[in-house]
Amino acid sequence: MGCFWAPQEAFLKVPGVTAAEVGYSWSGLGRTPANAAPDYDSVCAGNGFTEAVQVTFDPRVVSYEEVLGQFYELHDSTIEFPSGDQQYISAVWPTDEEQEAKAKAELDRRRAEAEAEAVAGGGLGRVRRPLTVVRSCEDAVFFKAEEYHQVGG
């Protein structure tokens, strides 16, 4: 989703979202993260973490599927970043197995939809599939970013 400020503000406008904090999560790609907690400078230097937004929501008001829909609406998940640059990858870190299954099903649905559109448009050579990474719920590690990065910080 690129820099984490715009998505943070967008998620905060979604009815039922009770909090959206910016921070860093391990991309799961490339080398294993260092033991020290990431900070903005280390993420920019390519330490294997990506900028992330931790979204807290009231499921009585907004469903996880609706939050995932917002995630996909807020960015172009088909952008491939240069090798080794995980700062801005498209990624979801579900917090339990149910969310993980739903996130994977939504990604599969969106990829199949992209392939069907490409076939209808003349071939798979032009397909723009979502490149989103769905991490395992066991990998859902979030480090809150420095206070000056938070909305109002």
Question: Pick the catalytic residue: 2, 3, 59, 142?
Answer: 3
Is residue 3 flagged as an active site residue? yes
Contact 5, 52 (CB under 8 A): no
Q: Which residues contact 94 (CB under 8 A, 6 or more apart)?
A: 100, 102, 103, 134, 135, 137, 140
Residues annotated as part of the active site: 3
